[in-house]
Amino acid sequence: MNEAQAQAKIEKLREEINFHNYRYYVLDNPVISDAEYDQLMRELENLEQQFPDFVTPTSPTQRVGAPPLEKFEEIRHTLPMLSLANAFEEEEVKEFDSRVKRFLETSHDIEYCAELKMDGVAVELIYENGHFTTGSTRGDGFVGENVTQNLKTVRTIPLTLIPGPGESLPSRLEARGEVYLPIKAFEALNRQREKSGESLFANPRNAAAGSLRQLDSSITSQRPLDFFCYGMGQLSGQTFATQWELLEALLHWGFKVNPHRKQCRKIEAVLEYFLEVDELRDKLPYEIDGVVIKVNSLRLQETLGNIARSPRWALAFKFKPKQVTTKIRDIIVNVGRTGALTPTAIMDPVRVGGVEISRATLHNQDEIDKKDVRIGDTVVIQRAGDVIPEVVRVVFEKRTGKEKKFRIPNQCPVCGSDVEKPRGKKEMAVVRCTGIACPAKLKETIVHFASRDALNIEGLGEKIIEQLVDKGRVKDYADLYALTLKDLLTLERMGEKLGENILTAIQNSKKTSLERLIYALGILHVGEHIAKLLAREFPTLEKLSRASWKKLKTIHGIGDEIATSIVQFFQQKDNQKVIQKLKESGVEYPSRPLPVQPILRKLEGKTFVLTGSLKSLSRSEAESKVESLGGRPSSSVSKKTDFVVVGEDPGSKYEKAKTLGVKILTEDEFLRMLAPDDG
């Protein structure tokens, strides 16, 4: 075969394969057998191997096999990916319809397109001249992550579009839709993860998001992700009259479009459709969380435009959180990373919104008392989104008198140490284990350290950590860096391949960022957000560890409790040793140049008004000082003003400040405020 012949054959094979892909995955109506399909694929693979020059990025052979990435590149969306306003009640939906009419100044019925609200991950797919070039996550709506390689592994995402008869494909199309994991696939994935000691996904949406954000697309390719297209960003050279027409066009180009959708002549028809969908919900092989209502006419959509970050022309009509009843068999106590004892109800397994549940949190003793929950009670439980299922109320009518009351023990169920109940207002109900060496705390601390948003040690799941702690091989998180393959091979269900992967993941985690590292340490009350604030303020962990309480308090967002907890953490000799050990093991983060002026935003959010002349600095110098410390200079006094600085010959602002009761500062007091703290 010469080159020209090969090229022609390759193109023909690709066309055929794409067609059969579409029949199989999108229409669910194949016209050839799997064996025949495999034969076509093999033929194409062979030819591409012989003529590698003809391999293109959108050939059906290119769905898998891309090398792993270091990190995801950022992609700015041409048009922002907005979010939807929510409604839970019919009334709110009718109000939405009235709002639309009011805005359009019409009393005529508005036609809507009603679609299922998929509970997955929103993505944007860019097609240039019919070829899939880039795919990204929604991100913050403006900038997402480039997950092209992972999206290519999703069989229902076309790599090349199918033009209609006599039609040319748009030069650019930004298709939008939802990637999701079918419920069955989610359950199988969790079963498999449980076996290999990895942490479980809370729900199909989290599993889909986790699968889509893999740096190694070969992992994504093992997860049977699916896709429904429901809209678009930019489209060149073509217009449609309605959302409905747009969906039809997307379908014909080869996208999977959800068959459950309805054109509704007026809002009442949407309300009826919602009831139909509610019935349908439990029979669907994927999770939905409501119905999306869109004004059908694209022209009207444009007139309506957006408000804040959601369109005025659409609404998410969501299902109320699912509630079911079941029976409590037992109440157990879990000990978390911070030593908090959480009572958990063990129940007869029930399905709620497509997921089987056998545990629900009871939060704390106060909640148990308030709801009067007892072992043996029949209870209503609910689950909304990815929150942990919780007990809503007891069905008292079902009480038999044999139910047993429950009290959180005074000793930690894991290590036997006494528990303490701090007196702080907010934490009234939280009971903590006081044992320094409590294995439950240690396990959770290490699980936290290795978790995705901390040092992200992939594959090092709960089951493995539990064994490592029980065997005494890991006594703190720095011990992870001394693990050998031999250590790992002593664990249950551990093979050489898995062990090596875990060791590599541990090694890779050494290169991290300061904010991840701070978060990973597991300081009480220091979540991701606070860790970020701290990393912004302190260039190194050493500097943070030496920060005074007073200094920490100057950071906007850090209050007494958090500052105390940070100081206490770093005061502990044991913690210092572990941090030193981490450093010696090679855990590092990029150093950041010190800002020319230290950013001490101790006047954050405070408004200053100056009146009269100051002796030591000019008005504009004073104002820029205030600004450099995060404060806001203003020229007029109001009740919202925090301070009025009074110099010589003050004007009427001084009088006004006195009348309004605004705090007045002399020049000296003001200067003291600007002076750097000792901390």
Which residues are at the interface with ligand IVH (CB under 6 A)? 82-84, 115, 117-118, 122, 138, 178, 230-231, 292, 311, 314, 316
Is the distance from CB of 334 to CB of 410 less than 8 angstroms? no
Q: Which is nearer to ligand IVH, 116 or 465 (CB)?
A: 116
What residues are annotated to the active site?
117
Give, in order, the Cα–Cα distances in Å from 245 to each of 108, 150, 256, 304.
Answer: 22, 29, 15, 19
Q: Which is nearer to ligand IVH, 292 or 298 (CB)?
A: 292
Q: How far is the CB of 366 from ligand IVH (least distance, A)?
A: 34
Q: Which is nearer to ligand IVH, 230 or 406 (CB)?
A: 230
Q: Which is nearer to ligand IVH, 209 or 469 (CB)?
A: 209
Q: At what angle do helices 667-674 and 619-628 cross, to 10 degrees?
A: 40
Is the distance from CB of 253 to CB of 240 less than 8 angstroms? no
Angle at 512 between CA 509 and CA 514, to 5 degrees: 140
Is the distance from CB of 233 to CB of 142 less than 8 angstroms? no
Buried b (16+ CB within 10 A) or exposed e, 497-529: ebbeebbebbeebeebbbbbbbbbbbbbebeee
Give 367-417 as a DSSP string: HHHHHT--BT-EEEEEE-TTSPPEEEEE-GGG--S--B-----SB-TTT--
**Beta-bridge partners for 359:** 346
Q: How far is the CB of 107 from ligand IVH (least distance, A)?
A: 26
d(CA 642, CA 625): 16
Angle at 250 between CA 246 and CA 252, to 5 degrees: 115
Q: Which is nearer to ligand IVH, 116 or 433 (CB)?
A: 116
CA 555 to chain centroid, in Å, comes to: 26
Identify the residue whose tokens are 């019935």.
279
d(CA 356, CA 349): 6
Q: How far is the CB of 154 from ligand IVH (least distance, A)?
A: 15
Q: Which is nearer to ligand IVH, 130 or 354 (CB)?
A: 354
Based on DSSP, count helices (H) and strands (E) in the chain, helices before strands.
Answer: 24, 24
CA 620 to chain centroid, in Å, comes to: 44
d(CA 138, CA 142): 7
Q: Which is nearer to ligand IVH, 118 or 523 (CB)?
A: 118
Q: Which residue lies nearest ligand IVH, judged by its C-beta?
A: 122
Is the distance from CB of 380 to CB of 392 less than 8 angstroms? yes
